[in-house]
Amino acid sequence: MVPYERNQYFTGRDAFLKRLFCRFRDPSPAPYHGRLALYGMGGIGKTQAALEFIYRYQSYYSRIYWISAVSQESLLDGYGKIAKQSEIKMPNDFTPIEIADRVLSWLRENQSWLLVIDNLDDINILSTRNLGVENNVQILLPQCGPQQHTLITTRNPRADDIPAQGVEVPVFDKTEALELLISLSKNSPLPNSSENETADQIVEELGHLPLAIGQAAAYIKQVSGNFTRFLRHYREYRPRVNSWMPQGPRPYPHSVATTWAMSFNAVFTTHHTAAELFRLLAFFNPDGILIDFLRTGVSAMRDDLRQLVSQETELLDALLRLETFSLLKWNRLNETLVVHRLVQAVVKDEMPDPDLTSFKIMIVDICDQAFPQEWNEKTWALCRLYVGQVMGPLMDAGVSEAEKFTNVVDRVGWFLRDDGKAIDSERLLVRSLEKRRRILGAEHPDTLMSMNNLASTYWAQGKTAEAAALQEEVLEKRKRILGAEHPHTLTSMNNL
């Protein structure tokens, strides 16, 4: 009783599916043995993995059933369909919960079956307390045991609450992501060609996420025609491309943007400040946001976010709500948060312009507040820890052009130079110089200071010609503006 055909373009996951099969067949006793919950963010491919598992291992089962748990109504309806399909006898006047009770008893008495419960994002759906009837069902799940297997898909990573054994569905690796893009788009670029390099860039930009890659492949087939044109469209019109829906039947009914908007809106309606916290997290390092970094910069936050981050119990509750929908991964041991970069992009793309501007100004303020003003034996380790937190936001192309921005960029860039990270230092200091030239003019003292700092980084890299050219320009301007004997002019002479 499976409502979907096999996906002929299913790619990768071989080792993952074998591991699932071994978990089911493992005879050693373990909690909830025979009941596995595949969890992960929207678009990661949980349903497709479950579907491929069914078709790949169907010969090991006498009966296979598939029901939806989008709502309690759909779950009960699914048990009703199992009763009909399996010809389980029961009175005509049985209520849905009584039918479910009879089906669960029947499954308990039989073996060699697999039940897939798809989209169990709200685990409260399994409880019968809201039905207000006397029945034998405590939880709307069959018992688990040898040859009695239940496979659940959910965004909720807390599988123990279901209860079940949790198995995280990972994002694709690069090879799997490329294979999916090429097979679905019907484009096979030659090795070492520019199109092949562009395909690499596409899967990196999409964070190896199956849903996004599938949508990109459909866009290439129906709109852009090749990888190069798609990448240009994506970078110029990202919100539109992420919201685009392909024509014809498709295995997933929602676009990339809609998929995460649904999770975000579910949080927004129940915990508005948690949703605002998530919007803030969209601007920071997707590979690991330090909770301590947020706490250090808390005084630069808006009132509602300051109160949330300052109160530990409120912060933990907000993170728990976000984690429930797999909007982030929360490592409690290291106190870090991971948000997929494509989710971050969609969140920022969905923001109205005034909100976007407000958040970008706040991000700069947080970076300025959190990153130490000077580095010494006591603060050097903290600077090294926090530099990874501020690099991304400060390199954001659309960030605020306020004076505070150039000041903190200069400070972090100068630390990187002192710490021997001259390439990253150059990236930041070039950005600071460009901003100051545009905002303050080519001869403003702060602009000349940025030129001096960048020249020092060039010198540290061994780029003496570039360093000398900048220092000559600074010296000429300071002589003309300040005079030949001004201390800043003499400093420039010394540097040159």
Cα 485 from chain centroid? 56
Topology of 14-168 in CATH? Rossmann fold (3.40.50)
Q: Is 430 exposed, middle or buried (0-12, 13-18, 19+ CB in 10 A)?
A: middle
Nearest CA-CA partner of 166 in 20, 5, 334: 20
Return the sign of the alpha-carbon dihedral for residues 182, 187, 193, 197: negative
Three-state SS string across 376-437, please? CCCCHHHHHHHHHHHHHHHHCCCCCCCHHHHHHHHHHHHHHHHCCCHHHHHHHHHHHHHHHH
Percent of the chain as helix, strand, coil, to the nearest 5: 60, 10, 30
In this predicted structure, what is the pLDDT of residue 401? Answer: 58
Kindly give the confidence (pLDDT) of every residue in the chain, 496 residues in length, as a single tens digit, with 9 standing for 90 and above: 998 888 888 888 899 999 999 999 888 777 888 999 999 888 888 999 999 999 999 999 999 999 999 889 999 999 999 999 999 988 888 888 889 989 999 999 999 999 999 999 888 888 877 766 655 666 889 988 788 999 999 988 888 888 899 999 988 989 999 998 998 888 888 787 888 889 999 999 888 988 888 888 888 888 888 899 899 998 888 888 888 877 766 666 667 777 777 777 778 888 889 999 999 999 998 889 999 999 999 999 999 999 999 999 999 999 998 988 888 889 998 899 998 888 888 888 888 989 998 999 999 999 999 999 999 989 999 999 999 999 988 887 565 556 788 889 999 999 999 998 988 999 889 988 888 888 888 888 888 888 988 998 899 889 999 999 999 998 999 999 999 999 999 998 998 9
pLDDT for residue 136 = 60
Alpha helices by DSSP H, 272-379: 272-281, 291-296, 303-310, 312-324, 341-349, 353-370
Residue ranges per domain, the chain?
A: 14-168, 174-243, 271-495
Return d(Cα 175, Cα 459) in angstroms, integer: 40
CATH number for the domain formed by residue range(s) 271-495:
1.25.40
Residue 41: how many CA atoms within 13 Å on its side-chain side? 29
Backbone angles phi, psi at 117, to 5 degrees: -110, 110
Single-letter amino acid code for the residue at 134: E
Domains 14-168 and 271-495 share a fold: no
Contact call for residues 391 and 311 (beta carbons, < 8 A) = no
